[in-house]
Copies of this chain bind each other. A is one copy, B any other.
Amino acid sequence: MVQRSNDEIRGDLSYLFDKASQALAARMTTALADLDITPRDYCVLTKAAPGELTQGELAEIALLDKTTMVVTMDNLEGAGLARRTPCPEDRRARIVQTTDEGREVVEKARTVIDGVYEDVLAVLPEKQRAAFLDALVALVGTDGPLSAVEPTPNAPRRRSQRSSRSA
């Protein structure tokens, strides 16, 4: 295995972020696998907790495409963690509710996730840790230079939709 030195990667911000994101995602996926859910399941499940959102609203909050949401909900419903209920006001829509089991799983998952975060951030001294999170929020949060929701570079290309950008 080829390993780059710490000095070398310090100047490669892309690498640092990519690696941090991937490695943490891998740890999260592994940690949540014991509960038989994916990070995305957890994301949707927590946001559905209030129990008054439609599938579409939930998709928007969780930053998922509505078709991706269908797949996610199929899984959650199949696993007995969430339920689709007809919306009284709009018979096209469906309210998403977490089941008792779903709430239990979310609670356990919360503990697991906190443990992972704690474990990861433990390498930073208390004070440095706070400063680190502050900096990250400054970069990623509202009005930060990395807050922009630029078009996903990875998304399937639109069907040649030429010269209709600023029209």
A93 within 8 A of B: no
Are the C-beta atoms of B135 and A120 separated by less than 8 Å?
Answer: no
Instruction: Give 1 or 0 for each of A126-164: 1 = CB within 8 Å of chain B CB.
Output: 001101111111111110111111111100000000000
Assuming the contacts A24-B146, A61-B2, A153-B25, asked whether A120 and B13 have C-beta atoms less than 8 A apart, the reply is: yes
Are the C-beta atoms of B23 and A148 separated by less than 8 Å?
Answer: yes
In the complex, A66→B150 CA distance in Å?
30
In the complex, A1→B27 CA distance in Å?
29
Assuming the contacts A131-B132, A137-B16, asked whether A27 and B150 have C-beta atoms less than 8 A apart, the reply is: yes
Query: Max chain B CB contacts within 10 Å: which of A21, A117, A150?
Result: A21
A3 within 8 A of B: yes
A79 within 8 A of B: no
Instruction: Give 1 or 0 for each of A1-25: 1 = CB within 8 Å of chain B CB.
Output: 1110110011001111111111111
**What are 9 A-B contacts defined by CB distance under 8 Å?**
A2-B63, A9-B141, A14-B28, A16-B136, A16-B140, A18-B25, A20-B21, A23-B140, A131-B131
